[in-house]
Chain A
Amino acid sequence: MTPVLELNGLTKRYGATTALQSVSFEVAKGSTHAIIGENGAGKSTLIRILSGLETPDVGTMSLGGSRYRPKSLGDSRRTGVSTAFQDLSLLPNLTVAENLLLPRLGGGRLIRRRANRDAAAVLLSEHGLDHIAPTQEVATLPLADKQKVEIVRAVSHQPRLLLLDEPSAALPDVEWLYHLLAKIRSDELTVLYISHRLTEIRDLCQAATVLRNGEVIDTVQVASVDDAEVFAMMGGGAKEGHGAGARTSRGLRDTPAISALNLHGRSIADVTFTLHRGEILGVAALEGQGQAETFRILAGAARPSSGQVEVDGEQVGLRSSAVALQHGISFVAEERKTEGIFPGLSTLSNVTIGSLDKVGAGGLLAGPKEHSSTRRWAKEVDLNVRYLRMDIDALSGGNQQKAILARSLMRGSKYLLLYDPSRGVDVGTKSTIYDLMERFVADGEGAILWYSTDLAELTGVCDRILCFYRGAVVAEVTGEGSTVNTLLAAITGHSNDARESQVRS
């Protein structure tokens, strides 16, 4: 086996974050090679570098024996590399034919529309997509067809290295993809297959490289490892259980706080679950599995196409964030910088902005009162009171997060929806957040729905954990019975593995 693609010590940094850390591996000519990793493992950065959209800070690549350093997408294409992107690079306002033939669009400067249409029709029918009309605008296609067109476009450049970034993410069945890959298979074509679905990787790939936090953990022969080993490599093994340990002593609560009943929406289908009072309910999922929309619906920021939400056992219409707040639901959003803080205001104002009626008098803000009543909440979240007078921009991410939590507490919300509050904050703040959550639900009144990308902290803190996959709750595990590996299996669509560990109905 001769390597066709070699990566040597690729490193890429964006500001303070390292996306790739001296990544090296080889891909055998004519093989289908998988790249596996969790969110943020560096898969997409790698794809962008190989496609010529980014250049590595350090490191070299070689393709077919000669140095490979593309400066643009056009560069990489001319060298015989072609990519089907995960975020889909089709233009919704152009026709299928135009999209397929970009950027050259056949002919010279003037486009021959009929010739283009015919060429596109041939491409589509060659790949089993006869039901798509070349003249159709891409905006009108269902997501699965868009994904297929994206893949066909990449294949149509007749590359020697084909990059498929999560090609099955939007496909309801993978048969079409299997068929296509079987058809184009040749000794001259090498495929890099990025996916988190082990079944597909077992079916299609010979070798796999596992990435974690931008580093290569290992490159293995797919046939020689079992699923558990792969999950262990992806997740980093046994670091679960950190955070609060006293978690399990709390009994099961049965007064419903918030119930989601058969919610349907743009990215979710039939999501049903109940959050009980006194409970911390975790949500585990890879990016884009419908958890974001679920949170936004419960926070009144999005509307379900069908289904109901009950708060305290009564059906409510969460028309807006203000209505959700009136029902005692407070949402701490993912994007702290854009959705959470008000930059330019003091930390004090950032805390009190949700409860100005409590600190003011007759519509005017009463300075001293604002300050004194805020101190209590600052202490509650372990935020040093001297920060209150400072501009919130000057605070670290962790302290900003504490201020946002203090705002929700001060407002007197009963139920918190926390969307990845511990991402990008330091370890100390993380444990403060865990303590705070524990205290918040300790009285048996409050309840927390908590999404985290850190599976280990979910297993350590939650009473129960819901696993989202492809817009549905595919598994529900108890906090004490869960490990990172069982969660990882469930959220990547391998629920059978998760079922072994106490799935309750």
Chain B
Amino acid sequence: MKALRSAATNGSVLAGLVLAVMYVVYMYSSVDVLTIENATDLFNNAAPLVVAATGLTLVIVSGGYDLSIGGVVVIANVILATQSGSTTQSGLLAIAVALAAGLLVGAINGFLVAYLGVQSIAATLGTFIMCTGIALVIMPSPGGSVPDFISPGLNSTVGGVVPVAFLVVLACVLGWLILRRCRFGVHIYALGSDERSAVQSGIRRANVKFRVFVGAGFLYAAAGVMLTAQTASGDPNGSALFMVLVFAAVAIGGTRFGGGRGSAIGSILGAGVLAVLQKMLFALGVSTFYTGIVQGAVLILAVLLGQVSLGLAQRSRVSESTQLIHGTEPAGPQAAQTGGQS
């Protein structure tokens, strides 16, 4: 019962269920779903979303918001499209520069939020707008190209079996599991739950916040690299929709906006839901014009589902613990002691 309840209230489990249902529908609506090509394609679609959602989950669990995703992704994208040359070496160098740019933007966000006390939405909105401006300076119009090592390189498989994108997703999952066992990971959850209590527990608030934003910035840049592998070119304007989908993935994954609860595993599954949804709709012959409508509806339904199951679980918990509360009622002995007065 207890295990069932904790499963029902766990956003990751719900997102996993939604993902499984969709995948089954997708499987029956199309032939040769279960091929390596198809799986690779799916992971390629999901990978940028997965990586960025992992970063955003970091920030949201710690109690902040981050709107700089779109900015960092587009900067990484235009850096690769203009600077990566045509060899593997120059490609690697450009990737390093792109990741460094992500770290830098994250550090700026972190400094503003952690040390200057700027509200995270305001600070990251500012850096987002600046980043899109910088992207236009680097690359005024869509175009550019990347070496084969990036595209199709990052979109292909290792040894014809394991998609590179799958390894990237796996790295995110493992990374998160390790983080949960780190001191830093516990501090993030503590801070997101109650800043005042966290500080009174000896946690260094500014330090933790700063590191969260730096880590997130790095992941957004990595997401930008994976996205560029798909488009094989640069587009200084193509970031807003991507950012919205990242937030959607986090929401579907059951992470609480406001901090303290949630997990990147849920967000990763949420990203999977969005990716499979696209495939499923295509396989069902639904025009791509309708994709957005369905994506939005799925987001709302998933969050609603999470809320309902949480409410049910809480109700059963309350009725179970009523006795407990009454046993320790603060007024109990006192009222008896002074009874008969009123």
Binding site for B on A (CB under 8 A): 51, 53, 72-74, 77, 83, 85, 87-94, 98-99, 102-105, 109-111, 113, 140, 142-144, 170, 172-173, 268-270, 272-273, 290, 466, 469-476, 493, 495, 499, 503, 505
Interface members, chain B 175-224 (any A CB < 8 Å)? 178, 181-184, 186-187, 189-190, 192-194, 196-204
Which of these, A74, A77, A470, A476, contacts B342 with CB under 8 Å? A476
Q: Are A104 and B197 touching (Cβ within 8 A)?
A: no
Asked whether, in the complex, the Cβ of A104 is within 8 Å of the Cβ of B183, the reply is yes
Are B330 and A474 interface neighbours, CB within 8 A? no
**Is the Cβ of B186 less than 8 Å from the Cβ of A111?**
yes
Contacts A142-B325, A476-B342; is A73 near B332 (CB within 8 Å)? no
Give B314-342 interface residues, CB cut-off 8 Å to A.
317, 321, 324-325, 328-335, 337-338, 340-342
> Given the interface contacts A74-B204, A269-B329, A505-B341, does A103 sit within 8 Å of B187 by beta carbon?
yes
* Contacts known (A103-B187, A105-B183, A474-B338); A269 close to B328, Cβ less than 8 A: no
Q: Which residues of B approach A to under 8 Å, CB–CB? A: 178, 181-184, 186-187, 189-190, 192-194, 196-204, 260-261, 317, 321, 324-325, 328-335, 337-338, 340-342
CB distance from B255 to the nearest CB of A (A): 12
Contacts of B203 in A (CB 8 A): 102-103
B194 touches A172 (CB 8 A): no
| Among B198, B260, B341, contact of A503 (Cβ-Cβ < 8 Å) | B341
Residues in chain A near residue B201, CB distance under 8 A: 73, 89-91, 99, 102-103
User: In whole angstroms, what is the CA distance A269 to B197 when docked?
Assistant: 28
- Which residues of chain A come closer than 8 Å to B189, judged between CB atoms? 91, 93-94
* CB neighbours of B198 from chain A (8 A): 89, 91
Known A91-B201, A99-B201, A476-B342; judge A471-B186 contact (CB<8 A): no
CA distance A104 to B183 in the complex (A): 7
Q: List 19 A-B contacts (CB under 8 A).
A: A74-B204, A85-B200, A89-B196, A93-B189, A102-B203, A103-B187, A103-B202, A103-B203, A103-B204, A110-B183, A111-B182, A143-B328, A172-B333, A270-B331, A290-B331, A473-B341, A475-B341, A495-B338, A505-B340
What's the least CB distance linking A163 to chain B, in Å?
11
Q: Using known A-B contacts A53-B199, A273-B342, determine if residue A91 contacts B194 with beta carbons closer than 8 Å.
A: yes
CA distance A445 to B23 in the complex (A): 69
Question: Smallest distance from the beta carbon of B121 to chain A beta carbons, Å?
Answer: 21
Please give, as numbers and ranges, the residues of chain A lying within 8 Å of B190 by CB-CB distance: 91, 93-94, 98, 102
Within the complex, the shortest CB–CB distance from A351 to chain B, in Å, comes to 34
Interface of A (DSSP majority class)? loop
Contacts of B335 in A (CB 8 A): 269-270, 472, 474
How long is the Cα–Cα vector from A296 to B74 in the complex, in angstroms?
Answer: 51
- A408–B328 Cα distance when bound, in Å, is 39
Inter-chain contact B342/A142, CB cutoff 8 Å:
no
Q: Do B202 and A73 have beta carbons less than 8 Å apart?
A: yes
Partner of A93, one of B183, B261, B330: B261
Taking the closest CB of chain A, its distance from the CB of B264, in whole angstroms, is: 16
Select one of B200, B330, B337 contacting A471, CB under 8 A.
Answer: B330
Q: Which 10 A-B pairs have the closest CB atoms?
A: A89-B200, A269-B331, A471-B331, A103-B202, A472-B331, A89-B197, A102-B201, A93-B193, A91-B190, A495-B338
B residues in contact with A88, CB < 8 Å: 197
Bound: A6/B260 CA distance, A: 39
- Complex contact B342–A91 (CB within 8 A): no
How many Å from the CB of A306 to the closest CB on chain B?
11
CB neighbours (8 Å) of A503 from chain B are 341
Q: Is the CB of A474 within 8 A of B341?
A: yes
With CB as the reference atom, state the residue of chain B lying closest to A493: B334
**Shortest CB–CB separation between residue B188 and chain A, in angstroms?**
11
Q: Are A144 and B193 in contact (CB under 8 A)?
A: no
Min CB distance A106 to B, Å, is 9
Query: Distance in Å from the Cβ of A178 to the closest Cβ of chain B?
Result: 15
A94 touches B330 (CB 8 A): no
Give Cα A310–Cα B340 distance, bound, in whole angstroms.
22
| Cβ distance A27 to chain B, nearest Cβ, rounded Å | 22
Taking a contact as CB atoms under 8 Å apart, the answer to whether B334 and A469 are in contact is yes
Contacts of A476 in B (CB 8 A): 341-342
Chain A residues lying within 8 Å of B181, measured Cβ to Cβ, are 110-111, 113
A53 to B325, CA, bound (A): 33
Q: Report Cα–Cα, A93/B194, bound state, in Å.
A: 9
The answer for the CA separation of A505 and B333 in the assembled complex, in Å, is 20
Q: Are A73 and B200 in contact (CB under 8 A)?
A: yes
Residues of the B chain whose Cβ atoms lie less than 8 Å from the Cβ of A51: 200
Closest-by-CB residue of B relative to A85 is B200
Complexed CA–CA distance, A83 and B261 (Å): 27
**Cα–Cα, bound, A113→B193 (Å):** 21
Instruction: Give me 20 other A-B pairs in contact (C-beta within 8 A), A94-B190, A172-B333, A499-B341 excluded.
Output: A72-B204, A87-B197, A89-B196, A89-B197, A89-B199, A90-B201, A93-B189, A93-B190, A99-B201, A103-B201, A110-B182, A111-B181, A111-B182, A170-B330, A268-B331, A269-B329, A269-B332, A473-B341, A475-B338, A495-B341
Distance of B327 from chain A, by nearest CB (Å): 8
CB-CB under 8 A from B331, the residues of chain A are 268-270, 290, 469-472
Q: How far is the CA of A172 from the CA of B329 in the complex (A)?
A: 7
B333 touches A173 (CB 8 A): yes
- CB of A109 within 8 A of CB of B197, answer no
The complex places the Cα of A88 from the Cα of B196 at a distance, in Å, of 10
Q: A472 vs B192: C-alpha distance in the bound complex, in angstroms?
A: 35
- Is the pair B193, A472 in contact by a Cβ cutoff of 8 Å? no
B100, chain A: closest CB distance, angstroms = 24
Q: Does B200 contact A109, Cβ atoms closer than 8 Å?
A: no
